[in-house]
Structure 1
Amino acid sequence: MNMQRRRFFGVLAVGGAAALGAGYWRLPAGPAPAALSIDAALVLLQRLATEPLVSRQGWSPTEVFNHCAQSIDFSIDGYPELKPAWFRQTVGPLAFSVFAARGAMRHPLDQPIPGAPAIDSPVAVSDALARLQQAFARFAAHQGALQPHFAYGELSHAEYAEAHVLHLYNHLSLIQRG
């Protein structure tokens, strides 16, 4: 029984790796909206704060900013739900390594963080944007241990910073100046 389970997870991991490898080439190849750093993301967010924003589809800009802030806060405080350990030790880290290597992330842009509260507060775009900027600043200043990512598992501070910026930039692909 234990051998069958190990074989099943091995096949699953290999299948996941193949799918991620194929998906690597489908990731956007164009330039990111800014450098892949928290400082560059904060400068970009400051510029966005001066313009009206609309979503081309899916979540509103307010929901996007609240969602990204949640993710950053959860990296410090802990995610409400985690994927199974086998996933966080195989498929999740592999996905992150593909995103990091490509310098771009692609994930469902209308999918909430598992177990997270609603992303409807704050309601005003400016307040949600300020919440996101505060979350980035809090993360940048954080010196303690970080919590495992719900899908990617254990990440260093630098890896988490990259993940947060890639995550934001992926969501910004559907937001435009109004």
Structure 2
Amino acid sequence: MPATSNGSDEGATSQAAPSVPDTPRRTFLKSGTGLAALGVVAAAGVGYLLHQPGNDRQLVFGTLGDAMREVDRLAGASASASVSALAPATVWNWSQTLEHCAQSIEFSLQGFPAPKSALFQNTLGSAAFGVFALRGRMSHNLAEPIPGAPALDASTPDASVALVRLRKAVQDFATHAGPLHPHFAYGALSKTQYEHAHAMHLANHLSAFDVRG
């Protein structure tokens, strides 16, 4: 699947989305129950799972390496340009966005502070991840914090610290050889699935920014 964008996306590449491996999840997705359940999620306002922002570059990444190349492109903006949010796609600044994405990767290694119930993870959450994985792209509310996560610092326009934190989180994930903690919404994921989840998460957030001169 090629990378796609409504704006400039040099360095944005993609790999084929991993298949949904387990039969129960696949069956749930194919059934009317699964599709209806996703509608219930949206109707209930669970914005972290189903949300389509406006003014979105529609980036698609298959790996964290792909995603970080776009992070580096944006972070390397020249002195005459800057990374700008594409309103109304997001209300977070660039630093907050990088910090939020770092938090998500860190929590997959450390444990999420406020996971949803096992029932939610094994039904609605797992179904939502299956839909995202099948289409290669997620969509969620770009101003929705991870439940229980420390508040993002809106007072720091300099994103250098957040950028270092994100790069470290990506490196720590790449070298991690132990078990991974269940995603707060999607539940248990393999490392390959988790990398794709993180790559889709970054793609969704990075789609709300571009370099403007």
Normalising to structure 1: TM-score of the pair? 0.81
- The answer to whether structure 1 residue 94 and structure 2 residue 115 are counterparts is no
1:133 to partner: Cα distance: 1.4
- The answer to whether structure 1 residue 144 and structure 2 residue 178 are counterparts is yes
SS at match of 2:166: helix
| CA pair 75-121 structure 1, distance change in 2 beyond 3 A | farther
Match of 1:55 in 2: 85
CA distance, structure 2, for counterparts of residue 87 and residue 35 of structure 1: 26
CA distance, structure 2, for counterparts of residue 107 and residue 32 of structure 1: 12
SS at match of 1:177: strand
2:162 partner amino acid:
A
Unaligned runs of 5+ in 2: 1-31, 42-48
Of 40, 62, 68, 1:36 maps to: 62
Per-residue CA distance 1:6-54 (angstroms, 9 max, x = gap): xxxxx9866314568xx99x799x9864641111122222222211211
CA distance, structure 1, for counterparts of residue 116 and residue 153 of structure 2: 24
Contact 2:57 2:207 in 1 (8 A): no
Match of 1:16 in 2: 37
CA distance, structure 1, for counterparts of residue 164 and residue 60 of structure 2: 19
- The answer to whether structure 1 residue 173 and structure 2 residue 179 are counterparts is no
CA distance, structure 2, for counterparts of residue 176 and residue 114 of structure 1: 27
Contact 1:76 1:146 in 2 (8 A): yes
SS at match of 1:146: coil
CA distance, structure 2, for counterparts of residue 122 and residue 155 of structure 1: 34
Match of 1:107 in 2: 140
SS at match of 1:176: strand
Which has more helix, going by share of residues? 1
Alpha-carbon RMSD across the aligned residues, in angstroms, is 2.8
Match of 2:189 in 1: 155
CA distance, structure 1, for counterparts of residue 35 and residue 58 of structure 2: 30
1:56 to partner: Cα distance: 2.0
- The answer to whether structure 1 residue 117 and structure 2 residue 147 are counterparts is no
Unaligned runs of 5+ in 1: 1-10
2:138 partner amino acid:
M
How many aligned positions are there? 164
Normalising to structure 2: TM-score of the pair? 0.69
SS at match of 1:128: helix
